[in-house]
Amino acid sequence: MMRKYTDKKNVQKKPYYTDRFWVAPQIPKFDVSSDEVFASDTEALKANFEIKKAYIQRGQLVVYINAGENVEVLTYLRDKLQYNFLSEHSAIDWLAKSGEFEIFYQMLSTSKRKRMRIKFFIKEKEPIRSISTIYKSADWSEREMYDMFGVIITGHHYMKRILMPEDWFGHPLRKTYPLQGDEEASWYEIDKIFGKEYRDIIGPENRDSSRIDEDDTYNFSRIHHEVSFGAKPSKEIVETDYQEEGGVFLVKKLKKADSKILEERP
């Protein structure tokens, strides 16, 4: 039997059926000149930097710049064009398609009430310069981007993983990373608590600390199928009274029939 083909470059879930003739519609992109503020902003940017593409989508300006100019463009945006907030900054993984990451900076100008997105592409191992000196909010978002995608950032003062543990292997938001975690991830706790040499002793069936074994009556007890400690599991239904007949000191025995449901709060 042949093993079913799976695309290792993108292990994210796929819909089980897609119509062969289905063509996805596009969200319309409008010309920059359709909005006054955006038009003047793009003009100002074009005068100083190389702009590859600029359009308006769903009311927000999207500008593609050169990867090397990110620091200069953002400094210009902050100082000259009044984009005083960096609301969001992250990457999109296109490694399977073109071997690239798409980096985006989501900017906000409170004085103009406008939002724009600065974007550029980088190769997988191409470093980008940190912008955390321009917008300090990039401090953590750059760390998160490194953590999740492995994008290399130079000039950051404290480049460490932020959400995952420091000794984690791999970058979880890459499309090559499976949702359930990879092999390293499933051994992580064993390696951490016991050491790598214990992998063979513990074995893959016991490495998951949250695994529940129905037949294991030493560690687990099935509701309504309780048996004594270590006895064989049974299918018989046991109705257990969870409170002793005599009652517990100061605790009233709860009887469902006697309880009263209030119509309204007193």
Partner 1 sequence: MQKVNKLQPFFENLVFERDDNTMIVNFGPQHPSAHGQLRLILELDGEMVTKATPDVGYLHRGMEKMAENMIYNEFLPTTDRMDYIAASSNNYGFALAVETLIGLEVPRRAKTIRMMLLELNRIVSHLFWLATHALDVGAMTIFLYAFREREYAMDLIEEYCGARLTHSSVRIGGVPLDLPENWITNLSKFLDKMPANLADYEGLLDKNRIWKMRLEEVGKITPEMAQTWGCSGPMLRGSGIAWDIRKEEPYELYDEVEFDVPVSDTLDSYGRYKLHMEEMRQSVKIIRQVIPMYYKSEPQIMAHAPKYISAPKEQIMTQNYSLMEHFVLVAQGMRPPVGEVYVATESPKGELGFYINSQGGAYPYRLKLRAPSFWHTSILQELLPGHYLADVVTIIGNSNIVFGEIDR
Among 32, 135, 29, 130, which Cα is nearest to 78's? 135
Q: What character string, x for contact with partner 1 (CB under 8 A) and - otherwise, covers 178-217?
A: -x--------------------------------------
Q: Does 12 bind partner 1 (CB under 8 A)?
A: yes
How many whole angstroms separate alpha carbon 91 and alpha carbon 66? 15
Among 30, 64, 85, 121, binds partner 1 (CB under 8 A): 85
How many whole angstroms separate alpha carbon 70 and alpha carbon 45? 12
How many whole angstroms separate alpha carbon 196 and alpha carbon 254? 51
Q: What character string, x for contact with partner 1 (CB under 8 A) and - otherwise, covers 17-36?
A: xx---x-xxxx-x-------
How many whole angstroms separate alpha carbon 123 and alpha carbon 92? 12
Q: Does 57 bind partner 1 (CB under 8 A)?
A: yes
**φ, ψ (nearest 5 deg) of residue 264:** -145, 160
Among 136, 192, 196, 253, binds partner 1 (CB under 8 A): 136
How many whole angstroms separate alpha carbon 8 and alpha carbon 183? 14
HSE of 235 in the Cβ direction (CA atoms, 13 Å)?
0
Closest to partner 1 by CB, 12 or 243:
12
Q: Does 75 bind partner 1 (CB under 8 A)?
A: no
Q: Does 92 bind partner 1 (CB under 8 A)?
A: yes
Q: What is the largest CA-CA distance in the chain?
A: 87
Q: Does 162 bind partner 1 (CB under 8 A)?
A: yes
Contacts with partner 1, residue ranges (CB under 8 A): 12-18, 22, 24-27, 29, 57-58, 60, 62, 84-88, 90, 92-93, 104, 106, 108, 110, 113, 115, 117, 135-137, 139-140, 148, 161-165, 172-173, 175, 177, 179, 265
